[in-house]
Amino acid sequence: MVRRSRNTLALAVLGLLMERASHPYEMAQTLRERNKGTSFKVTTGSLYDVVEGLERDGWIRSVETVREGNRPERTVYEHTELGLAEFQKWIDELVRVPVNEYPKFIAAVSYVGVLGPDGAVDALTERAERLAKTIDETDEHMRTVPVPRLFVIEVEYAQAMRRAEVEWLRRTAAEMTAGGITWPKPGEF
């Protein structure tokens, strides 16, 4: 039985190894350069844990240990045949099959009424401003990333989702301000 990681950081590791054999430090650098922190929660410790798990499960293997100057030794990894086949199956399933992901924002916005009209408008407006800033920063960063579009296509998707959210936030805050969304009287919640 093949064990499949539930950690999406494993997707990032396996995806990078599609390009070339690499060591975890190099993987972390590449993920940062490509702004993958918007798609995967990346910490050095978690990256090394994922690499260790993928190796243990037979999805990747070490191919060499290298040392550059005074830097520590670094183990370089590549896919195994099993790892490549399972990676392809995993990606295919994730792209084809929608799943409920239960974002915290949707849970919170379902109870935005507790903030009252002014508090709700303020909260939605602030979120829209923060997201708009993230959109601008990400657009600027992506203009400086010299990689093929296919390697950062998920950033395009994330940006489209952010833009749609900002539009919804602003429209909903405007409706609340104009009285188009009404609040029940105290005790009617």
Among 40, 64, 96, residue at a domain's last position: 96
Mind listing the pLDDT tens digit for each residue in 12-27? 999 999 999 999 989 9
Contact 90, 4 (CB under 8 A): yes
Same domain for 123 and 88, yes or no, is: no
Per-residue pLDDT, 3: 59
Alpha-helix residue ranges (DSSP H) falling in the chain: 8-19, 24-33, 44-56, 81-96, 104-109, 116-143, 153-178
Residues of the domain holding 132: 104-178
Distance CA 24, CA 64 (A): 13
Total structural domains within the chain: 2
pLDDT band at 10 (very low <50, low <70, confident <90, very high): very high
Contact 54, 4 (CB under 8 A): no
User: For position 35, which CATH number holds?
Assistant: 1.10.10.10
Q: For residue 157, is pLDDT > 50?
A: yes
Among 74, 96, 118, residue at a domain's last position: 96
pTM: 0.73
Mind listing the pLDDT tens digit for each residue in 28-44? 888 888 877 767 777 77
pLDDT band at 4 (very low <50, low <70, confident <90, very high): low
Among 96, 122, 142, residue at a domain's last position: 96
Q: For residue 184, is pLDDT > 50?
A: yes
pLDDT band at 1 (very low <50, low <70, confident <90, very high): very low
